[in-house]
Amino acid sequence: MFCILTVYRSPSGNFNRFLETLDAVQFVYSPSLGIIICGDININYLVITEQRKQLDNLLLLYNLVGIVDFPTRLSNTSTTAIDNVFIDVSTFHDYLITPFPNGLSDHDAQILAFKTLYSGRSPGTKFVRKVDQQTISDFTFILSNES
């Protein structure tokens, strides 16, 4: 079973409110449910920013990672990846994502194809949080802001 959520985040909207709203995925999250979040999030995934780190950390709680690593919006002045697809790569590890320039928008679409059907997690599946120098540094910074 799949749950596909599509989202749009206004570039001028309240980012913290966006994170709080997106965190509502906890109400549908289940280890046996394949969650896919996709849409125009207006966070450029071609560069690492504080907003990207915060979104990545939130989605890691649900084992979701962004898989778009190519530009999705090209203009005369910039190239960005502000549209993304977030999946559980421990469950969906046999996939292909490709850009789809459609001429209908200033954003390219993305095509996500699974090479094998989702069959649920095996009983022995482990959830592992990425721990490296960057994630430790991020955690230390966030922790330093707590009283």
Domains of the chain by range and CATH? 2-144 (3.60.10.10)
- On the question of pLDDT at 73 being above 60, the answer is yes
Structure pTM? 0.75
Label residue 52 exposed, middle or buried (CB < 10 Å: 0-12, 13-18, 19+): middle
Which stretch, 29-38, 59-68, 114-123, 136-145, has highest mean pLDDT?
Answer: 59-68
What is the model's pLDDT at position 7? 94
Give the C-alpha separation, 84 to 38, whole Å.
6
State whether the Cα torsion 76-77-79-81 is positive or negative: negative
Q: pLDDT digit string (tens) for 28-55?
A: 888 788 889 999 999 999 999 999 999 9
